[in-house]
Amino acid sequence: MADLEAAFSSYEQAKTLAEELGMRPLQGHCHLGLGKLYRRTGTRQQAQEHLATAASMYREIDMRFWLDKAEAELEELHG
């Protein structure tokens, strides 16, 4: 459980720093990572929010490889 809490904390810290520095690809990766963690822990609403945000960011900056990954995670969530 401590490892899971550390993972959430690390993603949140990285996301905050990426926002401050304007690093949109890293922001997307953080949202994707958080979405995956929330999906795997059964927190569907938060998973949906982070995965949708990641997909939107990847779409905006034309990162198709990562967009496919985010969309696949969303499908798993709804599947």
C-alpha span between 51 and 77 (Å, rounded): 9
- The residue-averaged pLDDT of 28-44 equals 96
Model confidence band, residue 79 (pLDDT cutoffs 50, 70, 90): confident
**1 has pLDDT over 80:** no
pTM exceeding the 0.75 threshold for the entire prediction: yes
Q: What is the mean pLDDT of the chain?
A: 96
Give the structural domain span for 32.
2-13+22-78
C-alpha span between 35 and 77 (Å, rounded): 10
Model pLDDT, residue 63: 98
Quick one: tokens of 10? Answer: 């690390």
Query: Into how many domains does the chain fold?
Result: 1
**61 has pLDDT over 90:** yes
Model pLDDT, residue 72: 97
Residue 8 buriedness (CB in 10 A; 0-12 / 13-18 / 19+): middle
